[in-house]
Amino acid sequence: MNHPNWNADRLAYLDPSGIRKVFDLAKNLKNPVNLSIGQPDFQVPDIVRQKAVDSIQNHANGYTVTQGIDAARDALKIREGIQHLQDRELILTSGTSGGLVLALLATINPGDEVILFDPWFALYPNMIRLAGGTPVTVDTYPDFDLPLDRIGKAITAKTKAILLNNSGNPSGRVYPKGQVEALANLAKENGVLLISDEIYSSFTYDTEFVSPVCFNPDTLVVSGLGKSYGFTGWRVGFAHGPRDIIQQMIKLQQFIYVCTPTPAQHAIPAALECDISPLIKNYQAKRDYLSDRLQSAFPHKKPEGAFYLFLPVPKGWTGSQFVAEAIRRELLIIPGNVFGEKDTHFRVSYAASQATLEKGADILLELAQLAPG
């Protein structure tokens, strides 16, 4: 068909996800060792599945109010410790991604700068640009700590927001309380909105997770339950923040997502009553196994959270070359340049069975012996 180019100019702002590229490369592999997955390998608790089924069977299948049902919102407010705060509001969103989209569309004007930390979750720079903003990257290699002096220097008159991800994808870092507090104060002192993506907050192993909202009540928290309860496909996210911003996000949601899927909303209170600590302990053991086995070949600081290791490639390799070689050996991992400007690392997800972790570690250790190229 001969038709004009109907694609919108704004599509030029989007880099297709490099994770999809790995999946494309891998699609002809029969039985790959898959350490590329960004979702947990455990099953949704029975009671939670039952509540979603009950919602369907009891004919609760229509739209809900835009902000989500009260039973779910109230339960989340308690989990987040914000039930007493009059000037804070909470909205259920369509996954954490949906919350991030609403947050950025509600706050970013064309020309606004948004500071983000490299390595970042790939949605961030893409969505910032789509909202008309300019991503301003602050490098956090090699330890992925928050470089507060450089963050301070990156703030200009155009800075509208700072986007934080704690626990971090891909770094697995959980920022110490002192760094979170200092960042929260820096945002406050400069009148900059701090957006905190806390989707991995349940996945912390050695350090206590601390939200910047404890130090800066104007923080906009965006989070979700998909990773914590194993239902990423149900699209359960939420955001809480200053009432006026959340009101604007509710307004946008009316026209974009309408509401979080209704059966999933009805399962939220039951999910929040489940004790997921055995699952988290199990992930801690997976982290220890993989981190310890790979430490000497790929020296790294043990990450405190999420379910990823972000490891330096051996000398002489680029991240992409190393990953291409891994895929040739049927091991799926993600090159570091998907998450930022450098091509020096690769991401391994340990959200996988012990047998898969063992096979993956064997292949990685074998690769570490190879000459590059």
Which of 352, 360, 206 lies closest to 298 in space, CA to CA? 360
Q: In the chain, which ranges are continuous DSSP H helix? A: 18-26, 46-57, 70-79, 95-107, 123-130, 148-154, 177-190, 226-229, 243-256, 262-273, 277-294, 319-328, 354-369
Instruction: Output the smallest distance, CB 220 to ligand PMP, in A.
Output: 14
Comparison of 80 and 197: residue with beta carbon closer to ligand PMP: 197
Instruction: Output the smallest distance, CB 316 to ligand PMP, in A.
Output: 30
Instruction: Output the smallest distance, CB 75 to ligand PMP, in A.
Output: 17
Number of H helices, E strands in the chain: 13, 12
CA dihedral angle for residue 125, residue 126, residue 130, residue 136, rounded to 10 degrees: 20
Nearest-angstrom CA–CA distance, 312 and 251? 44
Comparison of 37 and 368: residue with beta carbon closer to ligand PMP: 37
Instruction: Output the smallest distance, CB 260 to ligand PMP, in A.
Output: 11
3-state SS assignment for residue 339: helix
Instruction: Output the smallest distance, CB 87 to ligand PMP, in A.
Output: 26
Comparison of 66 and 169: residue with beta carbon closer to ligand PMP: 169
Task: Label residue 331 left, alpha or beta by phi (over 0 means left) and psi (-120 to 50 means alpha).
Answer: beta
Q: How far is CA 278 from the centre of its chain?
A: 22
Taken as a whole, the chain contains a residue count of 373
Comparison of 199 and 338: residue with beta carbon closer to ligand PMP: 199
The sign of the torsion formed by the CA atoms of 118, 123, 124, 125 equals positive
CB 197, CB 240: distance < 8 Å = no
Instruction: Output the smallest distance, CB 169 to ligand PMP, in A.
Output: 4
Residue nearest to ligand PMP (CB): 95
Comparison of 334 and 367: residue with beta carbon closer to ligand PMP: 334
Comparison of 45 and 226: residue with beta carbon closer to ligand PMP: 226
Residues in the site for ligand PMP, rule: CB under 6 A? 38, 95-97, 121, 165, 169, 197, 199, 224, 226, 232, 237
Comparison of 127 and 136: residue with beta carbon closer to ligand PMP: 127
**Phi/psi at 77 (5° precision):** -60, -40
Instruction: Output the smallest distance, CB 230 to ligand PMP, in A.
Output: 12
